[in-house]
Amino acid sequence: MTKNSNHDKHCQHSHHTDHAHSAMSEPVARDGGYDRVPEGFDGVVYVCPMHPEVRDVRNSGCPICGMALEPERAVAGEEDTSELDDMTRRFWVSVVLTVPLFVYSMGEMLPGWPLHGVMPPGTAQWLQLALATPVVLWCGYPFFVRGYRSVRTMNLNMFTLIALGVGVAFVYSIIATFAPGLFPDAFRDMHGNIGVYFESAAVITALVLLGQVLELRARSKTSGAIRALLELAPSTATRIDAKGNETEVSLDDIREGDRLRVRPGEKVPVDGEIVDGRSRIDESMISGEPVPVEKNAGD
């Protein structure tokens, strides 16, 4: 927000702007132990967007719903995209391995598909096992971690179902591949083979990873827009002490009750009340109105 005027202006700061010290006096273990921020912690606090009582100093998953945590307050600077990068990497690996697995498994439904005549069913199962194992165990590892955490905390959620469905399909298929003799005849097809579900486990994992990537990417764009607005604000302000001396200080050092001077052409650093002077303030970033608004003492 900018000010276009030939007059100086004093600002009465109306709220605390230090994002790193928010809620530092709150107890460490409250709301069932979901608040893991130690008292006096001076850093970025992560919170679940669905469950605000979940607070942590690490960008981990929510123990209730399994969603990725995000910063409690948007801060200027570079965004931590480590989780988005990790999920994106896992997704593309799963795509590379799942596509040939899916094509071969579903190809028998297409008339004249030649692949099923190339190798015997036993060899095909081992090939599917080789393709599906990295997808399930490495690409889908975060889902098993979140599913286990949901069972351990008795907060069953979406990741409980994902881990259960993918895990059961994968384990069943492994048993059918290594020990087909354990299954009765009712489980066999007309050729005496046991059906496996490696492609189902891999496809589910790849689709869930796609959903995670899209979600994290959307949240990243939203956070980026907020950070862009924060970067428009000045990093320092001119504070006036009781004797009228002016000192340039960081915004983190401004407290409620401080008197600030905003000179012509400078940006208004914080929310406050005008105690002296008048000016026309550009509020287009807030209201969308392009015409500067007249501001006087008391506003």
DSSP string, 4-38: E-SS-EEEEE-S---GGGTTTTS-SS-TTTTB-PP
The pTM is what? 0.65
pLDDT confidence of 282, banded at 50, 70, 90?
low
* Burial degree of 189 (CB within 10 A; 0-12, 13-18, 19+): exposed
pLDDT confidence of 141, banded at 50, 70, 90?
very high
pLDDT of 279 higher than 60:
yes
pLDDT confidence of 214, banded at 50, 70, 90?
very high
Torsion of Cα atoms, 266 then 268 then 274 then 275, to 10°: -60
| Cβ contact 32:273 at 8 Å | no
Comparing 220 with 145, the larger pLDDT belongs to 145
pLDDT of 206 higher than 90:
yes
H or E element in which residue 85 lies: helix 82-106
| Cβ contact 13:275 at 8 Å | no
pLDDT of residue 156: 87
The residues, ordered by sequence, that sit 6+ positions from 2 with a Cβ below 8 Å of its Cβ are 265, 266, 267, 268, 281, 282
pLDDT of residue 266: 67
- Note the pLDDT tens digit of each residue in 27-41: 333 445 677 676 766
